[in-house]
Amino acid sequence: MQKQFTIGTRGSPLALAQARLVAAALQEAHGWPGTSVRIAPIRTSGDRIQDRPLAEVGGKSLWTKELDLALLAGVTDCSVHSMKDVESDRPATLTIAATLPRADVRDRLIGAGSIEALADGAVVGTSSPRRAAQLRRLRPGLRTVSIRGNVETRIAKCAAGEVDATLLAAAGLDRLGRREVGGAIDIAIMLPAPAQGAVGIECRADDAMTAALLSAIDHHETHAAVAAERAFTLALGGTCHSPVAALARIEGGEIFFVGQILSEDGADAMTEETRFAVGDLEAPAMLGRAMIARAPASIRRLFEVR
Helix (H) / strand (E) element for 152: namely helix 151-159
Query: Residues 143, 121: contact at Cβ < 8 Å?
Result: yes
Residue 240 corresponds to which amino acid?
Answer: C
- β-strand 78-82 against 5-9: which pairing, if any? parallel
| 96 contact partners, CB below 8 Å, separation of at least 6 | 83, 90, 200, 201, 202, 223, 226, 227
Strand partners for 203: 95
The answer to whether 77 is a known catalytic residue is: no
User: Rounded CA gap, 285 and 272, in Å?
Assistant: 13
Given 47, 68, 85, 207, the catalytic residue:
85
User: Rounded CA gap, 120 and 164, in Å?
Assistant: 11
Count of CB atoms situated within 10 Å of the CB of 73: 8
- Counting Cα atoms < 13 Å in the Cβ hemisphere of 152 gives 7
Count of CB atoms situated within 10 Å of the CB of 36: 15
Helix (H) / strand (E) element for 80: namely strand 78-82
Query: Residues 3, 184: contact at Cβ < 8 Å?
Result: no
Helix (H) / strand (E) element for 213: namely helix 208-215
Query: Residues 248, 223: contact at Cβ < 8 Å?
Result: no
Query: Could you give the residue numbers annotated as active site?
Result: 85
